[in-house]
Amino acid sequence: MWAYWQSVPAHWREIPARYRLEGGECQDCGYRMIPREDICPKCGSRNVKPINLPRKGNVVNYTVIWNAPRGYEYYTPYVIAIIELEDGTRLTAQLTDVEPSDVKEGMEVEMVLRKTRVSGESGLIAYSYKFRPLIK
Amino acid sequence: MRADRKVGIVGWGVYVPQWRIRSEELARGWGRDWKRYAAGIMVEEKSVPGLDEDTFTIAYEASVNALRRARIDPSKLRAVYVGTESKPYAVKTTATMLIEALGAGGEDRLTTGADYEFACKAGTEAIQSIIGLIGSGMIDYGLAVGADTAQGAPGDALEYTASAGGAAYILGPAEESIAIIEASLSHVTDTPDFWRRQHERYPAHTRAFTGEPAYFKHIMTAAKKLMGLIGTTPDDYDYAIFHQPNGKFPLRVGTRLGFTPDKIKPGLITPYIGNTYSGSALVGLAAVLDQAKPGQKILVVSFGSGAGSDAFHIEVNDKIEEVRDLAPKVMDYVNRKRYVDYTTYARYRRMIRMLHDFSAY
Amino acid sequence: MVYIVGVGLTPVGNHWSKSLRHLAVEASVKALEDYGKDVDYVVVSNMLSGVINGQENLGSYVVSHLGKIGTPAIKVEAAGASGAAASVVAQGLISSGMAERVLVVGVEKMTDYTSLEDTTSALSTAIDSEYEGFPGGTLDAMHALVMREYMKKYGVNREDFSYFPLLMHKNAVDTPHAQLRFKLKPESYMRSPMIAEPITLLDLAPVSDGAAAIVLSKEPDGPNGNAEILSVGHATDTIAIYRRESLTEMPAIRAAFSEALERANIERGSIDLYNIHDYSSVLGYITTEELGLAERGKAPELFKNGGADRDGPTPVNPEGGLKARGNPVGATGVYQIAEAFLQVTGRAEGAQVEGAKTALTLSAGGLASNVIIHLIRGV
Ligand SMILES: [Zn+2]
């Protein structure tokens, strides 16, 4: 099935966001977003500049995935959360290094870089941000 | 070997995965008498990489921690070398991914990058190369990483020690350093004590032959030659760190060289997390830097099978106090742990593999 | 003015011996026979044929197998709202004079890959694949985030979510074309396996094959009953839910509903039944709240107390909804309009709501990111 392999160019072009949390900041209304949009979703401005988003935030909402999509079945159960970064920017991310039953709303988390999608034994290893509870 | 321009450590950082398996659980998995192993290796438990971790993710977090202490913009890094024997890709450099993730070399990514392999001493090899680049004036800052998710074949003796972790060192001009690397020296021979052939999943080793003619001979030669070169004796050092394939060898080789155990133990981390291979001596050095005082002297001697040793003479200065607490310490990672049983361990190490090709219908 | 003048349904289920083309042809032939005349345009609705069946170009695919080679035909896709979107396109063709009579056929063949991972991946193309799907998120997971938020905000528990599937299953027993025609026991619901906490298997619509067809005409010239499409309301929301202000409100539903009421120029009280898009129990609840059938957070009581029963004051999904009639995604919207058509023409058999004249259908793509409401009245 198509979903078995991660497209290489489709991952490659997202590397700035996936490795470094590069998002966008609207130069007119200040709204921050990930991914960076060409048009600000808040005010419609075309003046959106790249910005590295903060690496810390907290868990706003979460779910524990027991029925994974293709390519993620090896990792169950895993947690998908909506994270609010320190600057208020929200994103959806996987949590890691945490017991699903220990996840709480408001839990402080920090960005780490982890394997997210591995295409079999011979394909691409797609790395991306995940978040984990603060170490200290 | 000494550089024309003095070079030192600007920042250091480590990472160790949180998962642990007890040696006793490994022995239970294979019906072995744990007590027999216990005395021999002095490793209580070892770290295990999580399902989403590999050498790159370990190198990344260790490097982020090193950057926090170095307090430099990552764009100033002009050399990034990753020493490992567990590359995520057999062909495709881990350093390229690390450069991209850190933003090394600035927007144009003007930096050299490569993966180094010399069994467990690839990380110290990377440090030597960067000393050369900075010492010659070619660059100002470079990043050297030693990291591994070491492979121990199921049921093999190596399974009790082969663990995961790594350390990253940002080197720079001596005047900005927290510790100066006064001298370094290497000793290398063709001694086939341990290897992994192309396409093999697990390494082969020669048991007792890995001791005297390999580990002990190379470390002692490199250590003695370095001390001879710069005119020091074991008494001049406050700490000594040796490659630590188990908990016993570093104490034995140190004692033979004339170091007292109290100088070796602060940098002896393998008993808690196992042997992180390319990270082994470098995680030990990080543990020492986590506590070293200005003015103290450190001897580091790595060992890589095949075989060779790199020795370093390092002197700590007073800048270390400013940066020590800017990132998690070795013991923070050592104490952050959750245990897995052998089944979970086997899954995490991908010893149990899912048949995607059959389920995808 | 556009009228619904013919209908044809295949039973929803796991049709191992039928392909995409068999299903589409079966429903189309039934609808054309029901209408008794030919059409001059075919609009196919489908979501996953490219992903699951490796087949696109469904316009020519369907007419080729339907013996209508030469007839203009296209496919319309809007995830779970594909069927309603196809109806919208067909109405446009008729109102603009491009066509006089249009066959709208919705078809989905989901069971050609049998592992849940593949079906989950396919359905999850309805969410943001790069920034929700890639991290490991699924469509079900997005519904789970909404459900957790709903439980927290209104202090409701898992048992409160059982009332929705219990009613859907009860209704489906009387629906000839429904997939899950059996009653659900409350204890079965409570034991249901986790899919994405707190969403369980029995909170979700099943995996389904099926095809439904309707014929739209500019005249009420159907021999077996006619219904007028009073109005359509259509609105969108962000595809990625992490960019939404609230997870327990669905502003696209509100906007589509008020637009539909305004265009039809009718009061909400004149709607006799609601055929809504209940991909999950919580979406079913929030939808009824956005439609004004219950106060916010009170939808569980509506379903518990019989307010949404077939013979209650505001019947919801008298055929069993996505939960129990089944959800052949790209065809579901056509099933909904077809069911509403059967209701307002008195032909809904066991599922019939007594005296129903005006029906609302609401189809939603993604997590209510594309919402289409039809108001339909028997003539
Ligand atoms: Zn803006």
Q: Is B107 a catalytic residue?
A: no
The DSSP H or E segment spanning B182 is: strand B179-191
Residue B18: helix, strand or coil by DSSP?
A: coil
What pLDDT, on the 0 to 100 scale, is given for residue B2? 83
Closest to C302 (Cα-Cα) out of C265, C324, C276:
C276
For chain B, the domain total comes to 1
**Positive/negative CA dihedral, A37, A39, A45, A48:** positive
| A105, A106, A111, A115 alpha-carbon torsion, rounded to 10° | -10
Q: Whole-angstrom Cα distance, residue C42 to residue C50?
A: 19
Asked if B276 and B300 touch (Cβ cutoff 8 Å), the reply is no
The CA-based angle B269-B271-B276, given to 5 degrees, is: 60
Residue B1 lies in a domain: no
User: CB distance from A61 to chain C under 8 Å?
Assistant: yes
Question: At B358, is the secondary structure helix, strand, or coil?
Answer: helix
Q: Which of A69, A82, A91 sits opposite C120 (nearest CB)?
A: A69
- ipTM of the complex, rounded to two decimals: 0.97
CATH number assigned to the domain comprising residue B261: 3.40.47.10
Question: Does C13 fall in a domain?
Answer: yes
In which band, very low, low, confident or very high, does the pLDDT at C200 lie, cut at 50, 70 and 90?
A: very high
Residue in the block written with tokens 């929803």: C12
Average pLDDT value over all residues in chain B: 95
Q: Could you tell me what percent of chain C has a pLDDT over 90?
A: 99
Judging by beta carbons within 10 Å of its beta carbon (0-12, 13-18, 19+), is residue C297 exposed, middle or buried?
A: middle
Cα atoms in the 13 Å half-sphere on the side-chain side of B306? 13
pLDDT for res A1: 63
Any domain includes C78: yes
- B to C CB pairs, distance under 8 Å: 9
Task: Show which of residues 208-247 on chain C sit within 8 Å of chain A, judged by CB atoms.
Answer: 238, 240-243, 247
| Torsion angle (degrees, nearest 10) of CA B83, B85, B90, B91 | 20
List the shell of residues around ion ligand 1, using CB closer than 5 Å: A 26, 28-29, 31, 40, 42-43, 45
pLDDT score, position C189: 97
- The rounded distance, in Å, linking the Cα atoms of C140 and A69 is 10
Cβ neighbour number for residue B34 with a 10 Å cutoff: 14
- Cross-chain Cβ contact B359/C113 below 8 Å: no
Cβ burial, residue C299 (10 Å; 0-12/13-18/19+): buried
| pLDDT, tens digit (0-9, with 9 covering 90-100), for B300-319 | 999 999 999 999 999 999 99
Confidence of residue C353 (pLDDT cuts 50, 70, 90): very high
> In this predicted structure, what is the pLDDT of residue B355?
64
Low-confidence residues of chain B, pLDDT below 50? Answer: 357-358
Range of the domain at B88: 7-348
- Tokens 């986590």, located at residue: B290
Residue C135, pLDDT > 60, answer yes
Touching check for C53 and chain A: CB below 8 Å?
no
The pLDDT score that the predictor gives to residue B33 is 85
In a domain, C343, yes or no: no
Domain, as residue range, for C63:
3-114+211-217
Contact assessment for residue B269 and residue B229, using Cβ atoms and an 8 Å cutoff? no
What is the average pLDDT value for chain C, to the nearest integer? 98
- Judge whether C88 lies within some domain: yes
Q: CA Rg, chain B, in Å?
A: 19
| CATH number of the domain enclosing C49 | 3.40.47.10
Over range C107-120, report the average pLDDT: 94
Nearest-angstrom CA–CA distance, C279 and C204:
6
Q: Is the pLDDT of residue A136 over 90?
A: no
Q: Which two tokens stand for residue B58?
A: 């370990």
Interface test with B, best of C51, C52, C115, C116 (most B CBs within 10 A): C115
- 3-state helix vs strand vs coil in chain B, percent to 5: 40, 25, 35
What is the CA(C367)–ligand 1 centre distance, in A?
25
C366 touches C127 (CB < 8 A): yes
CB-CB: which of A64, A73, A92 is closest to C242?
A92
Q: Total domain count for chain C?
A: 1
C60 occurs within a structural domain: yes
pLDDT in tens, C39-83: 999 999 999 999 999 999 999 999 999 999 999 999 999 999 999
Query: In the structure, how many helices (H) and strands (E) does chain C have?
Result: 12, 11
Predicted structure pTM score: 0.96
The stretches of chain A forming alpha helices (DSSP H) are 8-12, 15-20
Domain A4-133, what fold? Answer: OB fold (Dihydrolipoamide Acetyltransferase, E2P) (2.40.50)
d(CA A40, CA A46): 6
Q: Name the residue with higher pLDDT: B227 or A122.
A: B227
Kindly report the CA angle at C94 between C93 and C98, in degrees rounded to 5? 55
Question: How many other CB atoms sit within 10 Å of the CB of residue B256?
Answer: 12
Q: Is there a contact between C137 and A80 if contact means CB atoms under 8 Å apart? A: yes
Give residue B3's pLDDT.
82
Per-residue pLDDT band for A8 (boundaries 50, 70, 90) equals very high
Chain B residue with the nearest C-alpha to that of C121: B360
The answer to the question of residue C168 being in a domain is: no
Q: Which residue of B has its CA nearest to A125?
A: B88
Contact residues on chain A for B53, CB-CB shorter than 8 A: 114-115
